[in-house]
Amino acid sequence: MTVTQPLFGPARSPEEITVPPFAVVPGRQIKQVLDGREATVTDVVESAYHLHAAGRTVNPASTFLRFPDRPTSRIIALPASLSGDAHVDGLKWISSFPANVTSGIPRASAVLILNDPVTGYPFACMEASVISAVRTAASAASAAKWLSRGRPRASRVGFVGTGLIARHIHTYLRGTGWSFDEIGVHDRSAESAAGFRLYLEQSGTDGRVTVHTDPEQLIRNSDLLVFATVASTPHITEPAWFDHHPVVLHVSLRDLGPQTLLSATNIVDDPDHCLRAQTSPHLTEQLTGNRDFVHGTLADVMSGRVSVPTERTAIFSPFGLGVLDLAVGKYVYDQLASAGDLTIVEDFFDELRRYG
């Protein structure tokens, strides 16, 4: 069964309320929708940030499922609700099992459930590792644009951490108009760094690619820095490495020591979400006893409520909001629905009459 139009409009009368069909959307279809649409998806993410800043979302704190026998692993639930044109509720359920990489499979896996805001019924289960990576990359590309206003266009970018997220961020930087003369790469795994270098060269990038064994050298030689590691505690603790005042996309959240944050302009996606779970901003709050070092959110910068001075390092630390996953997931769903390409699971809901 296929659906040729998006299911949900702004309002439905009681006579129009029915249980929606249930679709399963695999990663292959999601990639087909998203590939080459980096600028559009970045606009979708920015719109979600504006809705969140306007109080038109519900985004509870993420819930972490941890395991005493597997301390490095976790599964995170991100429930959320998004108003606006998308108007959808849902949940991202994403796992992080770092040991997977030793077996040659990705660290993270995820599904996204979309719920009808009228009936509450789920209407789609979507492979979400790509959605999660894309919304992270689009958020980073947006921050790179807005935090770089007034600065010379960055010609040197450095990547600390070279996994799936770094690859998507590079794709989204290129897809939103960035180009670089030099690309620096650093990873504690020489194999991972070499693999990322190969990806960069095969992607047709014009910049010269250099693998750095020393993170200090990479940081000092980059105008734009991307931290996309699996670090659990800060490992970059020298503020002097940032004396040239780069723009820093701190997407992995636990790389930078508090003193580095205290010497910078700090922009987050949401303070209450970001300053928890032992992130670098959370550790900085614990050290100082306040949040004065947080200057605002990315939505504040986009709207002009907060300006980012060029004479200080600018750090963007996004915790990752569930409403962004919903926004991107609903965009993909609507594109597939409009094209008649949804795969519907017939009779997924067995009992659809109130009294049987």
Looking at residue 106, its pLDDT comes to 87
Looking at residue 13, its pLDDT comes to 66
Looking at residue 352, its pLDDT comes to 80
| Confidence check: pLDDT of 350 > 90 | no
Looking at residue 274, its pLDDT comes to 96
Looking at residue 230, its pLDDT comes to 87
Say whether 232 sits in a helix, a strand or coil: coil
Q: Any idea which of 1-5, 315-319, 323-327 has the lowest mean pLDDT?
A: 1-5
Average pLDDT, stretch 119-133? 96
pLDDT mean across residues, the chain:
93
- Give the DSSP letter of residue 256: B
Cα angle, residue 44 at apex, residues 40 and 46 outer, rounded to 5°: 115
- Which H helix or E strand runs over 285? helix 280-288
| Confidence check: pLDDT of 180 > 70 | yes
% of the chain at pLDDT higher than 90: 85
Looking at residue 11, its pLDDT comes to 57
- Largest Cα separation within the chain, whole Å, is 70
pLDDT band, residue 15 (cuts 50/70/90): low
Q: How far apart are CA 94 and CA 310, in angstroms?
A: 36
| Confidence check: pLDDT of 16 > 90 | no
| Confidence check: pLDDT of 297 > 50 | yes
Of 257, 175, 179, give the one whose Cα is nearest residue 215.
257
pLDDT band, residue 5 (cuts 50/70/90): very low
What is the pTM (predicted TM-score) of this model? 0.92
The pLDDT tens digits for 247-292 are 999 999 999 999 999 999 999 999 999 999 999 999 999 999 999 9
Q: How far apart are CA 117 and CA 110, in angstroms?
A: 22
Domains of the chain with bracketed CATH: 14-131+322-345 (3.30.1780.10), 137-317 (3.40.50.720)
**86 touches 6 (CB < 8 A):** no
| Confidence check: pLDDT of 239 > 60 | yes
pLDDT band, residue 205 (cuts 50/70/90): confident
Q: Which residues contact 172 (CB under 8 A, 6 or more apart)?
A: 38, 41, 42, 134, 137, 138, 140, 141
Looking at residue 48, its pLDDT comes to 97
Q: Which residues contact 157 (CB under 8 A, 6 or more apart)?
A: 173, 178, 180, 182, 183, 184, 207, 222, 223, 224, 225, 226
**DSSP per-residue string spanning 340-354:** T---EETT-S---ST
Looking at residue 356, its pLDDT comes to 67
Looking at residue 351, its pLDDT comes to 82
pLDDT band, residue 2 (cuts 50/70/90): very low
Looking at residue 104, its pLDDT comes to 86
pLDDT band, residue 117 (cuts 50/70/90): very high
The pLDDT tens digits for 127-169 are 999 999 999 999 999 999 999 999 988 999 999 999 999 999 9
